[in-house]
A and B are shown apart, each in its own frame.
Chain A
C-alpha cells in the first residue's frame, strides 16, 4: 500500500504547498459556438472521493480535464489553493482509454517515474505493479494486455507520480465486472491512503460504492453538489431525483 499522510480534511482552507482546494469560479468552456460547460462554480477539497456523476455528454470529462489543467476555461477561472497554476507533479490523470507506451509493462511504469522526476528503481516498479495486481507481468508488452490490465497499468503509472490528487475519467467504462471490481478496489485503497480521488462515472452503482461527495452534472451545468448519502436519499433537484430513480436525463 501507499504510505502517505492523509491530506488536510478541511473544505475551504488549503494547506501550504497543496493544490487543494481546486476552485471553479464561473467557468465556461466552449468549442467554437458549442457550449460544453456553462457557469460552473465548484470547490474540490481534500478528503474522501468526489464523484462527478451525470449522463453522457453532460461535461464530466471536460470538467475533469479543466481541473487537471489539461484545458483552459473559455471564461471564468480555475485556481489551485488560490494559485492560478497548479504545482507540477502533484496531480495524475487516468484516461477512459489509456494510451500504452510501446514498451513493456515495467518500462511504462519506469517512464512515469522518470517523468515525475523519480528514480525508476526496480523495487519501486515492482511495488507499484504489485499495488495494482500486475506483479510478475513486468516483461509483457503493454499493448498486449487486456483492457482491465491496461487500466490497472495506467493506474500504476499515475501512482508513480505519488499524486496529491488523482483524476479518473470513467476508468471502468469498458471493463467487465471482475475488472471493474479490481479497479474499484485499487481506487478505494488509494483513497484510504490519503490521495484525493476525483472520478467521473455515469454508473450509479459505482458512484454509490465509491463516492463520499457527488457532483451531478447535466447538459453542461452543475445541477447539484452534495454528500453522497444525501444525494442518493434526498436529492434536492428534479434532474438529480430522476437520475437517481433511473429515469433518462437527456
Chain B
C-alpha cells in the first residue's frame, strides 16, 4: 500500500517530492564539484612531489576517508554558528552550509583515491615522460587526463557518499521544510513520523539516481576505453 502510494507520488510528479530531489541534487553536485576542485589537484600534488611530512599527509588523507558525517556536521556547525569564526556570514541552516559540510566530507575521499591512482600511473609513465622532457605542469595535466576514467569513478564515489549522507546536512542544514530539507533528511524525518509513502518514494528516487549516474559513468568508461585506450 505504502509502496503504491510512493510510486503514485513519483509518477504524478509530486511537487514536494521533486523540490526535495532538486535541492538534494543541487547540494550534492555542488559539493562534488568543489571537492573535485580541491581534491584532484591536492591528490596530484601529493602523488608527484616529495616533501618532508608527505607520508604523514598520506596517512591523514587516508584516515579522513572514514570521517564520520556527524563529526563533520559538528565542526562545520561550530565554524558557522553565531559565535564561530564564520558566524557573521550567516550561513548556518542554509543550503550553502550543507554544501560546505558535504565538501569537507568528500574532499579527503577524492584526494586520497586520486593520489593513489595518479601515483600508480606516474610509476608507469615516469621514465617515458622524463625522456620526452615533459615539464612538471604538463606532467600533472597528462596524468589527470590519462587517469580520467578512474578519476570519474572516484568522483562518483564522492557523489554517492555525499548523496547518501544524513548526519552532517541534518546538523548544519537544520532540515527546514522547503529550504534545507533534502532526500536523506526527509526520509529520516518522514519515517519517524510514519509518513512512509514520501519516505519510500524518496528512497526509490535516491536509489534510481545513484544507479543511473553509475550506469552512465560505466557506459562512458567502456566507450572511452574502447575508443581511446
A: which residues have CB within 8 A of B?
A: 68, 70, 88-89, 92-93, 95, 98-104, 107, 111-112, 115-116, 139, 141-144, 157, 161
Contact = CB atoms under 8 A, between A and B. Distances in A.
B127 A95 contact: yes
Contacts of A89: 133
Interface stretch (B13-21, B89-97, B167-175, B221-229): B221-229
A100 B133 contact: no
Contacts of A68: 131
A115 B229 contact: no
A100 B132 contact: no
Given A101-B146, A102-B229, A103-B229, A70 B130 contact: yes
A73 to B, nearest CB: 17
B81 interface: no
15 contacts: A89-B133, A93-B131, A95-B127, A95-B128, A95-B131, A98-B128, A99-B124, A99-B125, A103-B228, A104-B229, A115-B133, A115-B138, A142-B229, A144-B229, A157-B132
Nearest to A99: B128
B153 interface: no
Contacts of A116: 132-133
Interface string B138-166: 10001000100100000000000000000
Contacts of B138: 115
Interface in B204-229: 225-229
Contact of B127 (A70, A100, A143): A70
B134 interface: yes
A141 B124 CA distance: 18
Interface residues of B, number: 18
Contacts of B125: 99, 101
Nearest to B138: A115
Nearest to A101: B146
B178 to A, nearest CB: 46
Nearest to B227: A141
A115 B132 contact: yes
Which residue of A98, A99, A107, A157 has the most chain B CB atoms within 10 A of its CB atom? Answer: A99
A89 B132 CA distance: 8
Interface string B35-47: 0000000000000
B183 to A, nearest CB: 36
Contacts of A157: 132
A115 B149 CA distance: 23
A107 B142 CA distance: 12
A142 B225 CA distance: 11
Contacts of B133: 88-89, 115-116
B146 A102 contact: yes
Contacts of B229: 100-104, 141-144
B132 A112 contact: yes
A70 B129 CA distance: 11
Given A99-B124, A99-B125, A115-B138, A104 B228 contact: yes
Interface string B112-127: 0000000000001101
A100 B142 CA distance: 12
A89 B125 CA distance: 18
A102 B228 contact: yes
A142 B149 CA distance: 16
Contacts of B124: 99
A141 B127 contact: no
B146 A103 contact: yes
Nearest to A139: B227
A129 to B, nearest CB: 16
Contacts of B149: 102
A89 B133 CA distance: 7
Contacts of B131: 68, 70, 92-93, 95
Given A102-B229, A115-B134, 6 more contacts: A70-B130, A89-B133, A95-B128, A103-B228, A112-B132, A142-B229
A93 B134 CA distance: 13
Given A89-B133, A101-B142, A141 B226 contact: yes
Nearest to B124: A99
A143 B124 CA distance: 13
